[in-house]
Amino acid sequence: MIVTLIVVCEVGFWVLLAGGLSLRYLAKMPRAGIAVLLLEPVLELVLLIATAVDLRNGAQADWKHGLAAVYIGYSVGLGHSTIKWVDARFAHRFAGGPPPVKPPKYGAARTAHEWKTAARWILSCAVALGLLQAAVWYVGDGGDISSLRAWQTKMLIVAGINLLIAASYTIWPKQAPSTEEPKEAPSTEELKR
């Protein structure tokens, strides 16, 4: 049941997103579009409640419950930026909006971008870790929590990878290619002089 609900929530996310943006840009009904987009968190709330009810009704905690926590964490940490990303492209494609702004490629601006991205992922992981820990406490000592602990380990790895990526841009910032022409090596005639 939980896996089906996760799939339904994911499909629902994209349906609400497409519907909200269509109302906003194509039907020229921005308030109705915003109202539809604000329904997005309801999907995660339904999933959270269904997962808690499933565990309360005696279901053994397994990978599906962990996946639900990770999905909710992703939605909290990265859902807003995903919506903004799609919104910019939808507005450009269908409503004559400006081209989407591309992330910076070089220097301090790129480093700041990588840290913002890492912060979103770390927030996602923190929410998932919190929900997973709540599930561990809810199941208690009497149940098998190994799958929930495995998901916690995966979330720590994802957070660590994002920290490493951001730190690498801090330590080794990507530099813009040089614009000056490379000097030609002196010819043998010039070296003899």
pLDDT tens string, the chain, 193 residues long: the values are 888 999 999 999 999 999 999 999 999 999 999 999 999 999 999 999 999 888 888 888 899 999 999 999 999 999 999 999 999 999 999 999 999 999 999 999 999 999 999 999 999 999 999 999 999 998 887 788 999 999 999 999 999 999 999 999 999 998 888 876 556 666 666 656 6
Residues 98 and 156: beta-carbon distance below 8 Å: no
pTM recorded for the entire structure: 0.85
- Structural domain count of the chain: 1
Q: Is residue 151 part of a domain?
A: yes
In sequence order, which residues have a C-beta less than 8 Å from that of residue 76 and are 6 or more positions away? 44, 123, 124, 127
Q: Is residue 60 part of a domain?
A: yes
Provide the residue range defining the domain that includes 78: 2-175
Q: Is residue 56 part of a domain?
A: yes
Residues 5 and 64: beta-carbon distance below 8 Å: no
